[in-house]
Amino acid sequence: MAAEFIDLSQTLDLNTQAYPGDPIFSCCPNLTIEHDGANIASISMSSHTGTHVDAPYHFVPGGKRLDDVPLSRFVGRAVVVDVSNKAAKEPIVWSDLQPYEERLRRCVSEDVSFIMLVRTDWSRYWGTDEYFEHPYLDREAAERVIATGVRTIGIGTLSPDATHLDPHAEADFAVHQVILGAGGIIAENLSNLGAIQDGDWIVNMVPLKIGGCDGSPVRAFAWRRTSGTR
């Protein structure tokens, strides 16, 4: 059977946006074919650079670290929640998500491995100042989602919480605390979520196996079988 693939990741390069106060991404030549017989680069970045996942340990003392989380948490059927009508800095509230509640509960009851993807279409602003002004989940919405049994949530924004540009300002990370506090996983900076609205898509966003770490960049993608043949 043939398959169709959709890239859900942002490219890591010198223009990659970092959360305010986080280390920026760099990829520098270390060895070259001309001088050393092979190209090898030195990479420096935050554990939350580009498209990445958060492990509970990111906000929860004693929470599971990246290498303690089962691989099944990072692979599953896509359940896309469309809130692309939301404006800059507008909260995503439970009434926006409630139409999907029955489907989410059905997936949980059927013991189906799935990932809830919050489609904002904010990835269109990637690389611009507008990207920091994304819509965000409010605490109640996060609590109600967790109450359905969802444990892996991805979003096409810099954070599921509101982003504060001043790294020294007191920020509210209530949504991180609710989801990660329940042992959940968060994926951030996803893209192209509008391309997987229809069909039976499987999402893969497996992190690097970094011992004891709080998060990792991923190459997130979705795929589905098609009726064509090779």
114 Cβ contact list (under 8 Å, min separation 6): 76, 77, 78, 79, 107, 152
Contact 148, 101 (CB under 8 A): yes
Other C-beta atoms within 10 Å of 12: how many? 18
The whole-angstrom separation of Cα 66 and Cα 186 is 12
The CA distance from 208 to 166, in Å, is: 30
Structure-token match 């509008």, residue found = 194
CA 45 to CA 126: how far, in whole Å? 18
Q: Which residues, in sequence order, are bridge partners of residue 42?
A: 28
Please indicate whether residue 134 is annotated as part of the active site: no
Location of structure tokens 């009508």: 85
> Which residues are registered as beta bridge partners of 190?
none
Which listed residue (48, 52, 58, 176) is catalytic? 58
The residues assigned a catalytic role are 58
